[in-house]
Chain A
C-alpha cells in the first residue's frame, strides 16, 4: 500500500483573520484585509501598505513571557500549530514521539526581532560595532530561524526529524512537500507542516521598495493587491502563518479522523535565470506542475481549481498564465484560477502554506475563493480568475503553485480523500 500524507488539521493566522473559521469567511466573502501599515511608522517609505494580522499573542494562548521573547513569526507558527492539533483532534500522546516530524517554512525568519534588537545595540542603527551588554538573551534564536521549527516541535513533542525549509517565497509549499515526503517514505507518521513569516518591518519593506516590487497604491490600500488586473502595480506585503497536521493516510483512517485532503503530488524546479526576473515563457513552473501531476497520477483535465501564485507583479501574473497554458493545455482556459493574495497580501514564505490551507478548505467545502479587486483584466492574463465572488463547484483536485526569488518554482497537488487512487 502506498503511503500517503493526508491533511487532518488546519491552523491559520492571516491578515484579517486569526483562526481557520474567520479565515475561510474572509476568503469566501471576498473581503480584503490589506491596509496602511500600523506595525511601524512607514512615513518616507514608497510602499506603506500591508496585509497585517490583528494578533494578540496572549489572547491566543501565549504566555506573557512567550509574547515578549518569541519573534512574531514564531508566535504565528505556534498558535497555528496548536489550532491544527486541536482541529485534528489528535492526541499526540497516542503516537510514537520518534515518528513525529516538523517541517516549517520561512523566507525571512525572525527578521523583525533581529532588526529591532540591532537598533537597540547599535545606537539606533548608527554604529557598525554594537554594544553586547544590551544584547537580548534570545538573539541566537533570532539569528537562526530554525528556532521557529524548534518552537513548533515543542507543541507536538516531536523527536523525529525537525527542520526549517527556507526556499524564499516557495518555502510554504516546499515545507509541506518535505513533510509529506517524510510520511510517504516511512520516516514519520505524523507531521506539523506549514510556514510562517512576519516581514512587516522597516528593512523588509525598504528592500522591496528599492526594487519596486511592491505596490505603491497607498491611497487605496484595501484595493491595492490586484492580481491579473491591468492596473496591478506590484505585490502587497503580508504576514501570517498556516500549519497543517499531516498524518499517514491509513493511520488517520484507523482513528476515524476527518480528512480534508490528501497530498497527492508535488514538484519543484528552478529557472536558473535571474534572482528576481522571470522568463515570460513559464517553462520551469510548467515543468514543476507536470511533475506534480504525474506524481499524483492526474491528467491536467482532472484539476478542478488552480490556486495561483498571483502576486500582482507585472511579470509574475503573465509568467504564471503562460505556465498554466503550457502545462494544462486547453484545460487552462476552463479551470477556475484564483489568487487569495488579492485579499491578504503576500506573506513571502508563509503564503504557500496559507494557500494550501485555503486549498484544503476549498476541497472540504466545494467552494473556490475568488480573486478580489479584479475589475479590469489584463488582456495577457486571459484565464478564468474567478473575479470578486467565490464560486461553488465540486472540488476534488487542486493545484497550488508558488514562485520565488532565486528562480524557484513549486507545485503541489491536493485531492479529496474519496478520489484517492
Chain B
C-alpha cells in the first residue's frame, strides 16, 4: 500500500470478548489451555432447530460495560464492540482527546449488522403495526451503527469506514486502518465483533449449508479432519487501538504488540468459472508486501471453515506457499465457533499474543489433522516457540479472501512495494 518510507501501523491496545473469556488475558489463558466455549444454544429455545450449538459469550452483561443510555439504542453486536474497545483503549493508555482532532480514524467491519435488534423490530412491525417500530431501529440495525456509536462515544472525528466481506472483514479493517494512517491519521480504532444469534439470524446462517448440526460440543467443529461437518456459529471478537509508529513512539505508548506488515485481499471466482481460487495469491501478496519469505513465517492462523472442500482449498494454498507441513498452523476458533469478522479480528489478537509470549495455542477438540491436508496443525498442548512473524488468513462467504502479516515489534525494516511506485 505504500513505499518503503511510508508510515507503519503498530498495534498498541487489544480488547477481547470471546466465548471462552471476557477480556484479553482471560481469553488468552483459556486459549493456551485449549478450552472450548461451545455449548448448547442459550439465547432462545432451540428445540427443533437444526443447529444445536453456539459459541456464546459467557456472562456478558452489557450494562456493566456500556453506558446505560446507549443500551436501548444499540444491538448486542455494537455493545460488544464498545465493551471490547474500552479494554483496548485502557490497554493502550491512550486518552482519545490527546490525539489531534481529525487524526483519530475508525476502520471496522460488520458481517450482518444488528441482527437481533432488527428481528425484534420487524416482528413488532408485522405483529403490531408500523407505529410499534422503535425509534432506534434506524440507528441500531444498519452495518455502520457500531462505527457511528464508537465515533460518538469517544469523540473520534477522523475518517470512518465499515467494511463488509463476511468473515474476511476483520482483516480488511486493518488494511483500512493502514490506509487511514497513510492518509494522515495518527491513531485508528480497528477490529470487529459480530453477533447474529437470534432465531432468525441463526436460520439465515444455516441456510448457507455450512453450519454443523451436531449436538456434541467436542465433535461439532473439526476442520482439517475426516470428521469435518461444518462450523458452529459464535459471537464476539476483538477491537484494537492501532497507531502510526512514530506517533506511538512520541507519546511513549506502553506496549507495542506488533506491526501490520502486509495485507492483501483477493476474490475467488465461482467454481463454475473454471478458474482456480485466489487465496494463495492473497497470502503471497501479503508476504511480499511485508518483504518476508514463506520460510520467515513462524505461524499461520487458519480460516478453518470445517467444510471439507473449503478445508482442502485452504490447505492446498498453504502447502503451495509453505510446502507440506512447512509451517505450524493453528485454529483456536474450534473452541469458540466462527465469529465471522469478529473471528478474524480475534485471530489477530491471538497472533499478537503468541508473539508476545512465544507460545502458539492449539486447535481445541482436534486431535490430529487428516493426512490428506499435509498440515502441521498445532493440537493438544500449546507450542512454545519464538514467533516473530505471523500470518492470519480469513475467508468470507461468496469468495472473499484476506491475508494479514504481523511482525513482532523491533527495528523498522524496508517494506516491499505494493504495485507501482508513486
Contact A274 B152 (CB under 8 A): yes
The count of chain B contact residues (Cβ–Cβ below 8 Å) is 92
- The answer to whether residues A407 and B142 also contact, given A130-B203, A144-B164, A202-B130 and a CB cut-off of 8 A, is no
In the bound complex, how far is the Cα of B118 from the Cα of A125, in angstroms? 12
- The answer to whether residues A271 and B44 also contact, given A122-B123, A159-B268 and a CB cut-off of 8 A, is no
- The answer to whether residues A185 and B165 also contact, given A126-B126, A272-B155 and a CB cut-off of 8 A, is no
- Is A284 positioned at the interface, with any CB of B under 8 Å from its CB? yes
- The answer to whether residues A159 and B275 also contact, given A135-B203, A154-B270 and a CB cut-off of 8 A, is yes
- Is B359 positioned at the interface, with any CB of A under 8 Å from its CB? no
Contact A167 B399 (CB under 8 A): no
Contact A126 B127 (CB under 8 A): yes
Contact A408 B133 (CB under 8 A): no
Contact A187 B396 (CB under 8 A): no
In the bound complex, how far is the Cα of B182 from the Cα of A129, in angstroms? 47
> What residues on B are CB-neighbors of A44 within 8 Å?
129-131
- The answer to whether residues A144 and B179 also contact, given A130-B199, A185-B418, A211-B135 and a CB cut-off of 8 A, is no
Contact B122 A168 (CB under 8 A): no
In the bound complex, how far is the Cα of B331 from the Cα of A44, in angstroms? 51
Contact A46 B130 (CB under 8 A): yes
- Is A303 positioned at the interface, with any CB of B under 8 Å from its CB? no
> What residues on A are CB-neighbors of B204 within 8 Å?
114, 135, 139-140, 142-143
**Most A-side CB within 10 Å, residue of B111, B121, B159, B275:** B159
Which residues of A, 218-243, contact B by the 8 Å Cβ criterion? none
Kindly provide the distance from the CB of A137 to the nearest chain B CB, expressed in whole angstroms: 6
Partner among A163, A168, A267 whose Cβ is within 8 Å of the Cβ of B163: A163
- The answer to whether residues A166 and B164 also contact, given A129-B45, A211-B135, A272-B155 and a CB cut-off of 8 A, is yes
Contact A207 B137 (CB under 8 A): yes
- Is B293 positioned at the interface, with any CB of A under 8 Å from its CB? no
Contact B164 A146 (CB under 8 A): yes
- The answer to whether residues A167 and B144 also contact, given A157-B273, A158-B267, A207-B137 and a CB cut-off of 8 A, is yes
Kindly provide the distance from the CB of A170 to the nearest chain B CB, expressed in whole angstroms: 9
- The answer to whether residues A207 and B121 also contact, given A129-B45, A168-B148, A406-B145 and a CB cut-off of 8 A, is yes
Which residues of B, 118-160, contact A by the 8 Å Cβ criterion? 118-123, 125-127, 129-131, 133-135, 137-139, 141-145, 147-149, 151-152, 154-160
> What residues on B are CB-neighbors of A407 within 8 Å?
148, 151-152
Contact A165 B130 (CB under 8 A): no
| Minimum CB distance partner of A164 in chain B | B164
> What residues on B are CB-neighbors of A364 within 8 Å?
none
> What residues on A are CB-neighbors of B44 within 8 Å?
128-129
User: B201-226, CB under 8 A of A: which get 1 and which 0?
Assistant: 10111111010000000000000000
Contact B148 A408 (CB under 8 A): yes
Contact A164 B157 (CB under 8 A): no
Partner among A150, A168, A208, A271 whose Cβ is within 8 Å of the Cβ of B398: A150
- Is B400 positioned at the interface, with any CB of A under 8 Å from its CB? yes
* Inter-chain CB contacts under 8 Å: number: 287
- Is A325 positioned at the interface, with any CB of B under 8 Å from its CB? no
Contact B161 A178 (CB under 8 A): yes
Kindly provide the distance from the CB of A182 to the nearest chain B CB, expressed in whole angstroms: 9
Give the interface segment out of A24-32, A55-63, A102-110, A353-361: A102-110
In the bound complex, how far is the Cα of B278 from the Cα of A2, in angstroms? 29
| Minimum CB distance partner of B163 in chain A | A163
Kindly provide the distance from the CB of B386 to the nearest chain A CB, expressed in whole angstroms: 32
> What residues on A are CB-neighbors of B275 within 8 Å?
97, 157, 159
| Minimum CB distance partner of A147 in chain B | B398
Which residues of A, 231-275, contact B by the 8 Å Cβ criterion? 267-275
> What residues on A are CB-neighbors of B281 within 8 Å?
98, 159
Residues of B within 8 A of A (CB): 1-2, 44-45, 49-50, 73, 102, 106, 110-113, 115, 118-123, 125-127, 129-131, 133-135, 137-139, 141-145, 147-149, 151-152, 154-166, 169, 172, 179, 196, 198-201, 203-208, 210, 264-270, 273, 275, 278, 281, 396-400, 417-422
Residues of A within 8 A of B (CB): 1-3, 44-46, 97-98, 102, 107-109, 114-115, 118-119, 121-122, 124-130, 132, 135-147, 149-150, 153-154, 157-168, 171, 174, 178, 181, 184-187, 202-203, 205-211, 213, 267-276, 284, 287, 404-408
Other than the known A143-B112, A146-B400, A167-B144, what 15 A-B pairs have Cβ atoms closer than 8 Å?
A118-B119, A121-B200, A125-B126, A139-B203, A143-B196, A146-B398, A166-B144, A178-B161, A185-B418, A187-B418, A203-B122, A271-B157, A275-B145, A284-B157, A405-B144
